[in-house]
Every structure is written in structure tokens, then in C-alpha cells.
Amino acid sequence: MWKGRFSQDTDEAVQKFTQSLDMDWRMALADIRGSIAHVRMLGHTGLLSEEEASVIEKNLCLIAEEVRNGALVPKVSLEDVHMNIESRLIELCGPTGAKLHMGRSRNDQANTTVRLWLRKELLDIWDGLNDLISSLLKKAEEHAETVVPGYTHLQQAQPISMGQFWMAHAHAFLRDAKRLFDAYDAVDESPLGCGALAGSTLPLDREFTCNDLGFSSVTGNSMDTVAHRDHFMDVLYFAAVFGGHVSRLSEDLIIYFSTEFGWVKLPDSFCTGSSIMPQKKNPDVLEILRGKAGQLNGALMDLLTMTKGIPLTYNRDLQDDKRSLLRTIDCLHGIFSVLPALIREVAVDEEAANRGFRDGLILATDVAEYLVLQGVPFRNAHEKVGRIVRHCLDNDKPLTSLTLQEWQDNIPEVKGDLIPLLSPKRSMERRDTLGGTSPAQVKLQIENISLRLMMFDKEAKEFRERIPEGY
């Protein structure tokens, strides 16, 4: 494509080193659809005759069919998806095909191609995220009345509804949904017509191609458009934070599944055994999911580092911007292929969970708050309950085994109405503040997030309706 300027052919090693077909051939149909919009615009503005525009579009559609059925095999010597498509077009319609690239650079062409491809991918990712959150909501509804230990510092803290546990993760993933849709908005801008960096002297109509491709708007500055990859970073940031949330959920389930905890039960179909130890049931899927966070974090750091020191506008460093992006998209699809289904199969052994309550100390905060209602300042109540906890530990007695007399000997403010309150289930039910762990609050959270999911899904449907067919 640059043979007019150069007196030597490109070295074969350089061709292999600089090619990007291993990345961008999967975007061939998106590239063709971007070219169709460009050709329609050239015809609309009179830069191509009606016949020329029709011939080019007809042959681009033919090439798209060749891509679909595998008849078109790309050549590394042509470097990337864009030149392979254009070369094939010229083979089919001669000099007319050579007119396709007028008013366009690979800088805005490649940018358009990736954005077209990425919009669909992000909507597919939304489907996976929606499935994951919906699975958590179903588990929360199933376990709204199930009492398990809640932890801080991985030490028993207070009794919670297992439904509250599932909803805690659902809330985190819902924030990820917001980040995903923000990333979609950043991607949903048309760069076509920005050219190499400065626009064009030709009478291009950027609004025409924007509308033809279903973008929400055109980008605002041609130099910035071909130089930045902020929209990629928005996607990678979403993925990195999401990966952290997946890792945390996986870690929780791995811990609670261990023999020492033993109150989460994982399905056999999502576990593996040991090559030497016949008794083993290993949470390998969750462990691999936990490990994906490193890959997703690394992708973000890769692009942040790549873009930190390059000058305006386009530089070839940016060819590799897609490597981390594509790995991330593939990683996300992999996560969604297993995690929602695994969640739906998780069981909870409430009896095993409640064995951890035997010393009753998880109810200490309930006693302190009871004393507050009797008029005892909280810091004084904290100290009084701390002393009775020490009394229970020294005498190897569960907190729940103390008689009313023992309570009053240690804390005179205690009355007979405290004793009925001292059960994990009662403790959980009484934590009825907004967003708290009572079954009523868990059910309210389920309703609220279900509504949010419907709103996100409606938005996703509107996005899909704007995406044109053909790729």
C-alpha cells in the first residue's frame, strides 16, 4: 500500500512482526460493515457515482459471505484485516475498488472497526452479567431465612441471613453493570471521517456514517480521536473491578466449602478430584475464577503503560492496544460460561453453619445494643459485655447458657427480656435497618435490584436496536 514511496519490499521478518491478523481478523465483518457505511457516504456526497457505490457495496457483501464460509483466507503479507478486505475488493472490481479508501485512513478505519465489534461484545457481556446477578437474586430469595455467620477479619462477627451474603455480592456486580454501561457509552461514538489525524479536504459527511452505523454521536476532535484509547481503558477498568468482585466471591465460597468451615456445598460437576488422594473434592473452578483477576488487572496496566508516554496523535505502539482488550473479552466470556451456573447449584448446610454459634459470643453486640436501650452509654455497655465475654471464656460457658441471675450479677441493667433475644436467628431478624440483614430487608433489596436489572436490560435492548445488521 506504500510501494510508491519505498524502493524496497518490506522484509519478511518485519511483515511477521508488524502483522495484526492474529488479532483483528475476527473483526472482518465489522470492518466490512464500516466500509459499507463509508461507501454509502461517498455516494451520498457525490464523491462516488451511484453505480460505483453500488458496485463496491455489492462486492463488500460478497466478501462478507466469503469471510463467513471461510473461503477468504487472509494473507500475512497484507498485514491486517483492513488491507486484506481492500485487496480482495480490488481483485473483484478493479480500479473502482481502489476508490474505497478515499477520505479515510487506517487510523479512523481501524478505530471504527473495533468500536463496531466491541459494541456487540459488550452487550453479550451484559447478558452474562445479568445472568450472574439474576442467579444471585434467586439464591438470596432461597436463603433469605437461612442464618449463617458473618465475618470481619475472617473472624465471626454477627449472625446474618445467607440471603444478605448473596445480596452483598449482587450489589457489587450491579455497580459493575453501571461501569459496563458507562464503558459502552464511551465506545458508542463514530470516529469515521477523522482520517489520519486532521479530518479531510474532501466533503465527507460524518453524521451520515454515524447514523448508518447506529452510533449515538460522532467524536469531537480528529486528533484526539485517533490518539486516545480511553474507551478501551473504560472497558478494561470495568473488567478489572469485576474480576476483583469475582475473586472475592470465589474466595468466600472456597473458604466456606473447606472442611474447617464446611457449610457451603459445591456441586460435584463444578469440582475436580486429586490424582493421588481419593477423598479430595477440590473447588478448582472457583480457584481458576479467583486467578482471573490477575489477568484482568494486567490487561488494564498493559494499556495504561502503553499509552502513558506516546505523543499526539497515532503511533504504532497502539497496534497492540487490542491484544489486552481481546484477551479480556475472551476471559469475561469464559467467566460467564461457568460462574452463574455454579452459583445456581450451591447449597448451604444451615445446621453446619450454626455449629459455629455454639459459644454464643457472636451475640455480644446484641447485648451491648440491648444495654444502650436501657440507657447505658455505648462505651460503658461495650466494656460490660466485654467483661462477661471474658467470664464465659474463663469458665468455658456459652454466652447463651447464662442464667438471668448470672447476667444480673455481672450486668445489673439486664432484665428478663434479654434472654429470648439471644439466638442467632432472632439476632438476624432484628437487624431490620434499611439495607440490613433481616429477611424483610433482603427481600426489599431483591426487589430493588430486580428493578434495576430491568432498567439496564431495557437500555441494552435499545442499544441493540440501533446496531445495524450485516456483521
From the candidates 49, 216, 274, 337, give the one annotated as an active-site residue: 274
Note whether 149 and 159 are within 8 A (CB).
Answer: yes
Per-domain residue ranges for the chain?
12-102, 107-205+219-355+444-466, 361-421
Question: Among 3.30.1330.10, 1.10.10.60, 1.10.3720.10, 1.10.275.10, what is the CATH number of 12-102?
Answer: 1.10.275.10
pLDDT band at 389 (very low <50, low <70, confident <90, very high): very high
pTM: 0.95
Rounded Cα gap, residues 403 and 406, in angstroms: 5
- pLDDT tens-digit profile of 149-169? 999 999 999 999 999 999 999
Mean pLDDT of the chain: 96
Q: Is residue 10 pLDDT above 80, yes or no?
A: no
pLDDT (mean) for 126-140: 98
DSSP annotation of 94:
G
Q: Are 217 and 187 in contact (CB under 8 A)?
A: no
CATH assignment of 361-421, among 2.130.10.10, 3.40.50.720, 3.10.20.30, 1.10.40.30: 1.10.40.30
Judge whether 228 counts as a catalytic residue: no
Out of 1.10.10.10, 3.90.226.10, 1.10.1660.10, 1.20.200.10, the CATH code matching 107-205+219-355+444-466 is: 1.20.200.10
| pLDDT at 178 exceeding the cut of 70 | yes
Q: Which residues of 246-284 are buried (b: 16+ CB within 10 A; e: fewer)?
A: bbebbebbbebbeeebebbebeeebbeeeeeeeeeeebe
The pLDDT score that the predictor gives to residue 4 is 64
Residues 160, 425: Cα–Cα separation, whole Å: 8
Q: What percent of the chain has pLDDT over 70?
A: 98
> 153 an active-site residue?
yes
What is the rounded average pLDDT of the residues 444-461?
Answer: 98
The mean per-residue pLDDT over the stretch 169-185 comes to: 98
